[in-house]
Chain A
């Protein structure tokens, strides 16, 4: 890429991106005005952009356009959207907020039902079936590790014990060993998650440095 061939918009965008990247990276020396400025710019831009996207992708297609050139079904559907939407806007006023409760109830109820149904049939049952067939599809070592890791992790979250004759409420040695094993698997999982977060952050840093380097190359080496 050559700076001479760049449009003004691309050059402005590249310059703005470079500047804001420096502002964000200034956080390495602590919270400062440049970092807060860049943060506020991003938040404001994102909010404005989201408003525009919502207007163009949701409000106009679903609430306005059907009344302009829609058929009866589309109008009826638009009315069914419009009424709860207007009631939901009543939440702005504390005096009229109770009018928005039905819309909120519909949203929460439907959302909960969808989430529960999806979790049940999309995660719990499939993962349970996959865990039960681990020895069929994995090597014994892998399957054993998967089994021990799953059981020990579940046992780690068992905090109740049975009262024995000696009034000693401490868990048995096996249970304690499994708990320790489960804690180890949890720690490894957290380590893997942290490693993934670290890799993602390093990747983002590399991408930003790459962007800066490309911009600097354009400035330094225009040809």
Chain B
């Protein structure tokens, strides 16, 4: 009695049973033969029935538990004795994979057999759109439908996946794959479907897998295009070993596989042997079993194949609604479509059916594998299909899993993807640019100043201080301030009145100074002039300004008169530019009575420039300094001046000045060179206090001094001839008396205000 091993629980059952007596799983595939094609979709689950109920040609009638057998025909094959039970729970699928090696473990088999107790596993209860159509039945209608969606899938992949666009979004390893395999992928649809000869352009692995791939669908090819080499190779190895039990064509192990997937690597990495689940990779039985459990690995699949899968499955899902288009059908599909009956299809392409089924499973398995490698990283996110639980990868596998693919699917976990710069496309990089170029809104500060009460008090105090500083303290306004102008006007009017009265009265009642009031130096001066002989040269300097000419004329009139009376030859000079003119005015106006004539009785030598230096030069070389007279005549050609070589040759030098500095210059520069020539001076009253020391004492530098109107009036008294000083004398005395009265009144008023003013508290202290 032969036995049939349950593909689910792995326990042996009598061959006459259709269902496993342990797990109730179907023991014989319901679509393997053409007989099973009559069953239609009876074997499909409800959701699959709804998917295919619109397909009148679908006559598949299978038990609900056996619809999964179509996904793994190799496992349902009675010849496949290595079909191992698997756990669809998805929680420990890798552990279950290891369980394939323990086929003899009866206990484990019993536990696993309880899984398929007629209930659909969770991962299988995905929405219908994502469920791959498990309709590889040889029913012609189903075949047509399948061809339809395959053609649509092919056309959709061709239209929706331009290589250039994909290459831009794909990672580098995919680009490399794309660039390396693009010709192959493009040439794949052109391969005849039933061609037993492999295309020489195809790689070895694809050559071996060509029948399966060709019979599968163009979607698988597209899927293979998007897969890395290692996954593509592994993917093709598995269906090849699973769908083709003939081991005479061994799969090119390691062709395109990454190192970690190769056996050599595994042998190196695991000295004690490959893990159990990996050791069975090359085993066709294990591959078949793996293909059956691969759907359970969907949580580890990367997102890109999942998306592609969804697109493909969507296309497949709606494949029933799509009308087949011959122009998009590859040749091999047309060849497949040439069969009109299930029997012919079965006879002509028994391998094609199985390979198509295997290819479909391969696609499914590839998706699941990708999910297994991707979704295991995302533990927090729910599974895409809400059924597959995150797989528990071993650490070493976790460390070796492709990072790029999973990193690309979790951009938010490591930060946004860099959009610009040399790091464009990478995620998790330091976001320097956004931090630097981040537009920050300018902080807004309130314009209202927050002041504490204490600060407000300080501000108030400071403001008061500033205001009080600008405001003068209240003081009693002096009384004299208000009467200042009045007092000034009164004084001025009083003085003007007195002067005017004195001038208009022409009074000469006030006696001039006489007697003891005449200083001794004045008497000495009169003696000097009195000692002059006629035509004796006398140098007279008119060094005063026009503003003081009234005083100086009155003060010097008596002296000049005395000189003219003596008949002296006058040489007139001046260190002031206006002096020569004043001298001419004096001779011709004040002393006009003497009738002095220029060049005869006097010579106006004019202006001596250079100040002290010029005066010093004039003392030493008078003819060189003033060669011409004021009227432009030769000054030193006159008989009186012909013998003059220096100022010492003059008999007398008379200085008439209102400026003490000018008098001092004459004293300092001229007097030392005069030798025996006396120097007398008529100065203004304001210069007398300064020049008086030069006129006193036995070694006085000034032989005689007459100061102001008082000295002129006194000298008139000396010579006994009243002159201009006498005319002014009375008026001067009146004016001085008035000024004295005003001063006394002012002093008395000031004293009275000082004593009568009340002292303020501040002044008292």
Q: Which residues of chain A have a CB within 8 Å of any CB of chain B?
A: 28, 42, 46, 49-50, 53-54, 56-58, 60-62, 107, 110-111, 114-115, 118-119, 121-123, 126-127, 129-130, 133-134, 136-137, 189, 192-193, 195-200, 202-210, 213
Additional 11 contacts, C-beta under 8 A, given A46-B578, A136-B698 = A53-B607, A58-B609, A111-B611, A122-B667, A126-B699, A134-B697, A137-B696, A196-B686, A199-B708, A207-B553, A210-B503
- CB-CB < 8 A to A202: which residues of B? 495, 499, 732, 735-736, 739
- Using a Cβ–Cβ cut-off of 8 Å, how many residues does chain B contribute to the interface with A? 66
Q: Which residues of chain B have a CB within 8 Å of any CB of chain A?
A: 492, 495-496, 499-500, 502-504, 546-551, 553-554, 577-578, 580-581, 606-607, 609, 611-613, 616, 626-628, 630, 632, 658, 664-665, 667-669, 671-672, 684-690, 693-694, 696-701, 707-710, 727-728, 731-732, 735-736, 739
- CB-CB < 8 A to B708: which residues of A? 196, 199-200, 203
- CB-CB < 8 A to B694: which residues of A? 126-127
Given A49-B578, A122-B664; A203-B736 close (CB under 8 Å) = no
Return the 3 tightest CB-CB contacts between A and B, nearest first: A207-B550, A122-B668, A118-B668
Q: How far is the CA of A127 from the CA of B692 in the complex (A)?
A: 11
Q: Are A196 and B607 in contact (CB under 8 A)?
A: no
Closest Cβ neighbor of B728 among chain A residues: A206
Q: How far is the CA of A53 from the CA of B579 in the complex (A)?
A: 10
- CB-CB < 8 A to B549: which residues of A? 207
- CB-CB < 8 A to A127: which residues of B? 693-694
Distance of A198 from chain B, by nearest CB (Å): 7
Q: How far is the CA of A122 from the CA of B693 in the complex (A)?
A: 12
Q: Are A200 and B685 in contact (CB under 8 A)?
A: yes
Distance of B655 from chain A, by nearest CB (Å): 13
Contact of A206 among B550, B577, B632 (CB under 8 A): B550
Q: Are A114 and B500 in contact (CB under 8 A)?
A: no
Q: Are A129 and B699 in contact (CB under 8 A)?
A: yes
Distance of A149 from chain B, by nearest CB (Å): 11
Closest Cβ neighbor of B731 among chain A residues: A206
Closest Cβ neighbor of A202 among chain B residues: B735
Q: Are B688 and A122 in contact (CB under 8 A)?
A: no
A/B interface sample: 25 pairs, CB < 8 A: A49-B577, A53-B577, A54-B607, A58-B607, A61-B627, A61-B628, A111-B611, A114-B616, A118-B616, A118-B672, A122-B672, A122-B701, A127-B693, A127-B694, A130-B697, A134-B697, A196-B689, A196-B707, A198-B739, A199-B686, A202-B732, A204-B547, A206-B732, A209-B499, A213-B500
Most B Cβ at <10 Å: residue of A122, A129, A193, A213: A122
Closest Cβ neighbor of A133 among chain B residues: B697
Distance of A72 from chain B, by nearest CB (Å): 16
- CB-CB < 8 A to B496: which residues of A? 28
Q: How far is the CA of A14 from the CA of B606 in the complex (A)?
A: 25
Distance of A192 from chain B, by nearest CB (Å): 4
Q: How far is the CA of A209 from the CA of B707 in the complex (A)?
A: 21
Closest Cβ neighbor of B687 among chain A residues: A196
Q: How far is the CA of A179 from the CA of B738 in the complex (A)?
A: 34
- CB-CB < 8 A to A28: which residues of B? 492, 496
Closest Cβ neighbor of A197 among chain B residues: B686
Q: Are A206 and B503 in contact (CB under 8 A)?
A: yes
Contact of A213 among B504, B550, B669, B688 (CB under 8 A): B504
Q: How far is the CA of A54 from the CA of B687 in the complex (A)?
A: 28
Contact of B606 among A46, A57, A107, A123 (CB under 8 A): A57
Distance of A105 from chain B, by nearest CB (Å): 14
Q: How far is the CA of A204 from the CA of B503 in the complex (A)?
A: 12
Distance of A7 from chain B, by nearest CB (Å): 13
Contact of A203 among B495, B611, B685, B693 (CB under 8 A): B685
Contact of B613 among A60, A114, A136, A207 (CB under 8 A): A114
- CB-CB < 8 A to B553: which residues of A? 207
- CB-CB < 8 A to B502: which residues of A? 206
Q: Are B499 and A206 in contact (CB under 8 A)?
A: yes
Contact of A114 among B612, B685, B728 (CB under 8 A): B612
Distance of A13 from chain B, by nearest CB (Å): 11
Q: Are B577 and A50 in contact (CB under 8 A)?
A: yes
Most A Cβ at <10 Å: residue of B630, B665, B686: B686
Distance of A109 from chain B, by nearest CB (Å): 10
Q: How far is the CA of A102 from the CA of B708 in the complex (A)?
A: 43
Q: Are B735 and A210 in contact (CB under 8 A)?
A: no
Q: Are A49 and B686 in contact (CB under 8 A)?
A: no
Distance of A68 from chain B, by nearest CB (Å): 13
- CB-CB < 8 A to A107: which residues of B? 613
Q: How far is the CA of A198 from the CA of B710 in the complex (A)?
A: 13
Q: How far is the CA of A122 from the CA of B685 in the complex (A)?
A: 22
Q: How far is the CA of A44 from the CA of B700 in the complex (A)?
A: 41
Distance of A70 from chain B, by nearest CB (Å): 10
- CB-CB < 8 A to B672: which residues of A? 118, 121-122
Q: How far is the CA of A127 from the CA of B690 in the complex (A)?
A: 12
- CB-CB < 8 A to A60: which residues of B? 628
Q: How far is the CA of A110 from the CA of B739 in the complex (A)?
A: 46
Given A111-B612, A133-B697, A196-B708; A119-B607 close (CB under 8 Å) = no
- CB-CB < 8 A to B686: which residues of A? 193, 196-197, 199-200
Distance of A221 from chain B, by nearest CB (Å): 12
Q: How far is the CA of A45 from the CA of B736 in the complex (A)?
A: 33
Closest Cβ neighbor of A211 among chain B residues: B550
Q: How far is the CA of A134 from the CA of B699 in the complex (A)?
A: 11
Q: How far is the CA of A189 from the CA of B689 in the complex (A)?
A: 7
Distance of B419 from chain A, by nearest CB (Å): 69
- CB-CB < 8 A to A110: which residues of B? 613
Q: Are B684 and A196 in contact (CB under 8 A)?
A: yes
Distance of A92 from chain B, by nearest CB (Å): 19
Given A130-B697, A202-B735, A205-B735; A123-B728 close (CB under 8 Å) = no
Closest Cβ neighbor of A190 among chain B residues: B689
Q: Are A203 and B554 in contact (CB under 8 A)?
A: yes
Distance of A122 from chain B, by nearest CB (Å): 3
Q: Are A192 and B689 in contact (CB under 8 A)?
A: yes
Q: Are B709 and A203 in contact (CB under 8 A)?
A: yes
Q: How far is the CA of A56 from the CA of B605 in the complex (A)?
A: 11
- CB-CB < 8 A to B551: which residues of A? 199-200, 203-204, 207
Contact of A208 among B550, B606, B668, B685 (CB under 8 A): B550
Closest Cβ neighbor of A127 among chain B residues: B693
Given A49-B578, A122-B669, A203-B551; A209-B628 close (CB under 8 Å) = no
Q: Are B732 and A133 in contact (CB under 8 A)?
A: no
Distance of B493 from chain A, by nearest CB (Å): 9
